[in-house]
Amino acid sequence: MLRGYLKVRDTCSVCNETLSHHRADDGPAYLTILIVGHLMAPLILYVFTKYRPDPMLLATMFSVGTVGLSLFLLPRLKGVIVAMQWARRMHGFGARG
C-alpha cells in the first residue's frame, strides 16, 4: 500500500483499487504519539524509580527508544487508517465509477 516510507500509492499493486481517496492527514502521527507516550511514560517512571540510572543515560536510552518506536509505528498506523477508510467506504472509496 505504501511507496517509500509514508507515501500512499495511487492504486493497489495487487487489486488495482484506487487509493488516492485516502485522507489520513494527522491521524497516524496522533496515534503514534498516543501509543508511544502511553508505553514510554510508565516505563521511564519504573526504570527511574527501580534502578536510579544516571539522568543522561536514562535520557539517551529513552530518546533512542522513543524515536525508534515512533519510526516503526508511523507507517503501520498510516496503513491502518487508510485501510479503515477503505473498509468503511469513506472519502470516495465506496463510489463506483
With a pLDDT cut of 90, the percent of the chain lying above it is 71
Q: Which domain holds residue 62?
A: 2-87
Query: Does a structural domain hold residue 60?
Result: yes
Query: Does a structural domain hold residue 54?
Result: yes
Q: How many domains does the chain have?
A: 1
Q: pLDDT tens, 12-53?
A: 889 998 888 888 899 999 999 999 999 999 999 999 999 999
Q: What one-character-per-residue DSSP string does 21-87 give?
A: T---TTHHHHHHHHHHHHHHHHHHHHHHHHH---HHHHHHHHHHHHHHHHHHHHHHHHHHHHHHHHH
Q: Mean pLDDT for the chain?
A: 92
Query: Does a structural domain hold residue 63?
Result: yes
pTM of this structure: 0.87
> Is 73 within 8 Å of 34 (Cβ atoms)?
no
Query: Does a structural domain hold residue 97?
Result: no
The residues near 30 (Cβ < 8 Å, ≥ 6 apart) are none
Q: Is the model's pLDDT at 97 over the cut of 60?
A: no
Q: What is the pLDDT, as a whole number, of residue 92?
A: 78
